[in-house]
Structure formats: structure tokens, C-alpha cells
Amino acid sequence: MNFDRGDDPRTLPPDEAFVALGNETRIEILRALQNADRPLAFSELRNRVGVDDPGRFNYHLGKLTGHFVRKSDDGYAPRTAGTRIIEAVLSGAVTDAPVLEPTRLDAPCPYCGADVEVSYREERLLTRCTGCPGSFAGSDTSLAPFGTIALFDLPPVGLEDRSPRDILDTAFRWTHLEYLTLAAGICPRCSGTVEHSVTVCENHEASETHLCEYCNGRFAVDATANCTTCPRYLRGIPSVFLISKTEVSRFLTDHGINPANPSWDRAPPAVMNYDEDVSKTDPFEVRLTFEIDRDELTVAADDTLSIVAVERRDATPEI
């Protein structure tokens, strides 16, 4: 269903939205409204922001009113768009640039069990194995060097008051929840619709000790979720998009792994370390086999990551 936005004053083209926010006073107006527990009258809002000239303050407030600020008989209050701006400021996403130098942790690689090394810059946490090739390597080795397991998005505030191990757990869960939302067909950033697709390395050849020389990956199949509205997309191995599926979720839950709040120690070995078989190419079908405590789950997925077949094999209890 499409909606006609018409001439609604609350709707701004992107360039006009950026212009409207390009002033320190306007950011302080949004911050003051966000900190208030009720709508604020013009004079009280001006006093909180600390602008002496009523005319100048009214000019800046007027640039925000409609799209970022709601005006009513009770006063001024932030609209959702205004709240999102302050959230971005407070998260450090538009103001901070912290760096965490490579730090070795007592946290297992999902593939070989060796210690993981983490580092952080430009709002991304790099997780790298110290003992094996990891998941993939990038063409830019400074971004994805040998041993890379995953790159996790994390706003700068995610580093505050957390140890390197806590940062790993936070980044893993933060990104995992985005994967769950994207897998459900909803963009976690703008709520737009999401399209799923896969790419396949046709000459794939990898092992436990080396990545494929053609795709630089451990697995032949990569999956991508693209928002059809905003620039948000995530690329990863197919299994991370399948956790939300009932069959996979039940398999994890049956083995004590919480799909909604997973721990690094248990979830990655169960979800990221699987057997892969591209069983069909036209139509495309990939079969992934997960193993936990000798129990196995095989799921077949098509090129939109929809599950088309499931087979579960539980180990016979020892007598």
C-alpha cells in the first residue's frame, strides 16, 4: 500500500531536513524538549536553551516546528523525528570516534575454539580469530584482516563503562537483534520493507585451514538483506538470517540457547559453524546442517532465505 504524503508540512525532503538541523541552537532546542517531562511553553523553552533574543529564538524554533517539533495548546514537544536526532547525538554516532586497539579475550572462536581478538574504530567492532582463517577476508585487510570472524556495528556509547569482553557481548547482541528484524522483512532503522538475496561462489574451495581463493570466504553462499527505503543493509552468512525461523529457533532453544538474547560462548559455534551444501542452482537451494550435542538440524532455503524443507535428527541417548 502506498500513501500520498501530499503537502503535509511534517514531511521534509532530505536536503531540507539537514539544513533545518544545521545550527547549534536548534540541536539545543531538541535536547531541551527531549529532557522535559511535559510540553514546554515558548518562554520556558527559551530560558532552558539560554537564548536571550526572543526573535532569534523564534526563528530557529520555527525551522523545527512541524517535522521535528510538535506545537499544541500545551506548548512544544518533540516529534519522533526530533527524538531520533537526539538519540543519534547521545549515542555518539555523530559526535564521537573512540578507538579500541586489538585486545585478546578469553572468548572462543566459533570455528576452532581459539581466543578471539577484538578492536573498534569507525563504529565497528572487528572480531578476529587468533588461530584460524575465520569467516572471511576483505580486499582491504585493514578492515577485514586474516582471521576475521565478523564485523559488528556498535554506536560509540556502547563502549562506555564496559570491558572489552562486555563490548564483544554487547556488539554481538546488538547486531544479532538487527539480523532478527531484517530476517522478518522489517528494516530496524526506518521500518521499511526488506529484500533478501544470496550470492554463490561457483568455484568455491575452502577448508578449516584456508579460505576460498575466489571469494575469500569460508562458505560458498553469502546472504544480503537490503532495505528498499533507506541505505541500511547487512551482509552475512545465511544462518544468521535463519535464526528467526521457527524450526531453527526451536532447535536452539531445545539446547539451552536463547535466540533472542544469545551469548557469544554458545550461539556462534552453533549458528556460524555449519555444513553447507548447494543442492540446486535452478531453482536455487542451499542446505545448512547445524549440530549441537550430536543432534542435527538440516534446513533447505531458497534464494530469498525462505525455508523449503527441514529435517531434524536427534542422537540416540546412551544407555
- 281 pLDDT higher than 90: no
Question: Which CATH entry fits the domain spanning 14-91: 1.10.260.40, 3.40.640.10, 1.10.1050.10, 1.10.10.10?
Answer: 1.10.10.10
Reported as a single tens digit per residue, the pLDDT across 215-243 is 999 999 999 999 999 888 899 999 999 99
Q: What percent of the chain has pLDDT over 70?
A: 89
For the chain, give the mean pLDDT.
88
Residues whose CB is less than 8 angstroms from the CB of residue 272 and which lie 6 or more positions away in sequence, other chains included: 110, 111, 135, 149, 237, 239, 240
Domain(s) of CATH 3.10.450: residues in the chain: 239-313
Q: What are the residues whose beta carbons fall under 8 Å from the beta carbon of 76, sequence distance 6 or more? A: 33, 39, 40, 41, 42, 45, 61, 65, 69, 70
Given this model, what pLDDT does residue 93 score?
54
More confident residue, 102 or 316: 102
Q: Where in the chain is the domain with CATH 1.10.10.10?
A: 14-91
- The set of residues, in sequence order, having a beta carbon less than 8 Å from that of 26 and lying 6+ positions away, is 20, 60, 63, 64
- pLDDT, one tens digit per residue, over 82-100 is 887 877 776 655 555 788 9
Q: Is the predicted pLDDT of residue 10 greater than 60, yes or no?
A: no
For 239-313, CATH gives 3.10.450
pLDDT digits (tens, 9 = 90+) for 13-66: 555 655 567 788 888 888 899 888 899 999 999 999 999 998 999 999 998 888
d(CA 29, CA 27): 5
Q: What is the mean pLDDT of residues 272-290?
A: 94
Inform me whether the pLDDT recorded for 303 exceeds 90: yes
Question: Cα 279 to the chain's mean position, in Å?
Answer: 30
pLDDT of residue 155: 87
Instruction: Tell me how far apart the terminal alpha carbons of the chain are, to the nearest angstrom.
Output: 58
